[in-house]
Structure 1
Amino acid sequence: MRRLAAAAALAALLGGAAACGDDGDTKTVARTTSVEVVPPPSSDDGGGDQPAGFDPRAIYERESPGVVTVLSAGFGGDPSAGGLGSGFVVSGDGEIATNAHVVTQGEGRSIREAGKVYVRFPDGNQVQAEVKGFDPFSDVALLKVDPAGLRLRPLPLGTAGSAQVGEPVAAIGSPFGEEQSLTTGVVSATGRSIESLTGFQTSGAIQTDASINSGNSGGPLLDAQGRVLGINSQIRTRSGESSGVGFAVPVDVVKRSLDQLRRDGKVRYGYLGVSTKAVYPQLADEFDLGTDKGAWVQEVVRGGPADDAGLRAGGDQRRFQEDTWLVGGDVIVAVDGRELQRDTDLGVELLRHLPGTTVKLTIVRDGRRKEVPVKLGTRPLESPQG
Structure 2
Amino acid sequence: MALVFIAALLAAPVVQAQQPRPVTPRGALGADEQALVSLFEATAPSVAYITTETLQATGLFRAEVQQGAGSGFVWDGAGHIVTNNHVVEGARRVFVQLDAGQPIEATVVGASPEYDLAVVRLKRVPADLKPIPLGSSRELKIGQSVFAIGNPFGLSRTLTTGIVSALDRELPTTDFREVAGVIQTDAAINPGNSGGPLLDSAGRLIGVNSAIKSASGSSAGVGFAIPADLVNRVVPALIARGKAPLPGIGIAPIRPDIVARAGISGIVIAEVGRGTPAAEAGLRAYDARSGDLGDVIIGVNGRRVTTLSQFVSELDRAGIGQSAELTVLRGERERTVRVKVIDLRR
TM-score interval, normalised by the smaller of the two chains? 0.7 to 0.9
User: Deviation of residue 275 (structure 1)?
Assistant: 9.4
Asked if 1:138 is matched to 2:115, the reply is yes
Paired position in structure 1 for 2:283: 310
Aligned with 2:154 (options 177, 184, 189): 177
Letter in 2 for 1:347: S
Q: CA deviation at 1:359?
A: 3.5
**After superposition, what is the alpha-carbon deviation per residue over 1:231-286, rounded to whole angstroms, capped at 9, x for unaligned?**
1000001111110100001111111221111111112302254899xxxxxxxxxx
* Matching residue of 2:80: 95
Q: Aligned in 2, Cα 1:275/1:252: closer, same or farther, shift over 3 Å? A: farther
Q: Does 1:359 align with 2:326?
A: no
Pick one of 300, 303, 327 that aligns with 2:268.
300
Compare CA radii of gyration and give the structure with the larger one.
Answer: 2
Aligned twin of 2:31? 47
- Counterpart residue identity of residue 241, structure 2: D
Q: Assess if the C-alpha contact under 8 Å between 1:231 and 1:249 holds in 2.
A: yes
Query: How far apart in 2 are the matches of 1:187 and 1:92?
Result: 30
Q: Distance in 1 between matches of 2:48 and 2:343?
A: 37
What is the SS of the residue equivalent to 1:237? coil
2:51 aligned to which of 71, 81, 89:
71
Q: Could you tell me which residue of structure 2 aligns to residue 350 of structure 1?
A: 316
Give the match's secondary structure for 1:302: strand
Query: Is 1:136–1:198's contact at 8 Å kept on the other side of the alignment?
Result: no
Q: Tell me the number of residue pairs that the alignment of Structure 1 and Structure 2 aligns.
A: 286
Is 1:76–1:114's contact at 8 Å kept on the other side of the alignment? no
- Alpha-carbon distance between aligned partners in 2 of 1:155 and 1:311, rounded to the nearest angstrom: 47
The letter for the 1-side match of 2:336 is K
Q: What residue in structure 2 maps to residue 224 of structure 1?
A: 201
Q: Paired residue for 1:3?
A: none
Write the deviation string for residues 23-55 of structure 1: whole angstroms up to 9, x where unpaired: xxxxxxxxxxxxxxxxxxxxx99534x7xxx93
For 1:240, the equivalent position in structure 2 comes to 217
2:246 pairs with one of 269, 291, 301: 269
Counterparts of 1:341 and 1:298, CA distance in 2: 9
In the alignment, which residue of structure 2 is the partner of 1:153? 130
Match of 2:165 in 1: 188
Amino acid paired to 1:270: P
Q: By percentage of residues, which structure has more helix?
A: 2
Structure 1 residues without counterparts, runs of 5 or longer:
1-43, 105-112, 277-295, 314-327, 380-386
Match of 1:332?
A: 299
Q: Per-residue CA shift, 1:144-177, capped at 9, x if unaligned? A: 1145445312101111111111110000000000
Q: Distance in 2 between matches of 1:117 and 1:92?
A: 19
Alignment of 1:282-293 (within 5 A): none
Alpha-carbon distance in structure 2 between the residues aligned to 1:231 and 1:125? 24
How big is the shift at 1:299? Answer: 2.7
Higher alpha-carbon deviation: 118-127 or 147-156: 147-156
Taking a change above 3 Å as real, the CA distance of residues 95 and 358 of structure 1, as seen in their structure-2 partners, is: closer
1:81 counterpart letter in structure 2: Q
Q: Is the 8 A contact 1:87 1:97 kept in 2?
A: yes
Instruction: Give the Å deviation of 1:363.
Output: 2.4
Q: 1:75 to 1:160 in 2, by over 3 A?
A: farther
Give TM-score scaled by structure 1 length: 0.65
**Identical aligned pairs, as a percentage?**
32
Letter in 2 for 1:310: L
Residue 373 in structure 1 maps to residue 346 in structure 2: no
1:86 aligned partner: 71
Question: SS of 2:92's equivalent?
Answer: strand
Q: Determine if contact 1:331/1:363 at 8 Å carries over to the other structure.
A: yes
Structure 2 letter corresponding to 1:378: L
CA distance in 2, matches of 1:370, 1:148: 52
**Cα distance between partner residues in 1 of 2:230 and 2:243:** 14
Matches of 1:96 and 1:165, distance apart in 2: 28
Question: Does 1 or 2 have the higher relative contact order (CA < 8 Å, sep 6+)?
Answer: 1
State whether residues 69 and 86 of structure 1, in contact with CA within 8 Å, keep that contact through their aligned partners in structure 2: yes
Contact 1:101–1:139 (8 Å) recurs in 2: yes
Moved more, 364-373 or 242-251: 364-373
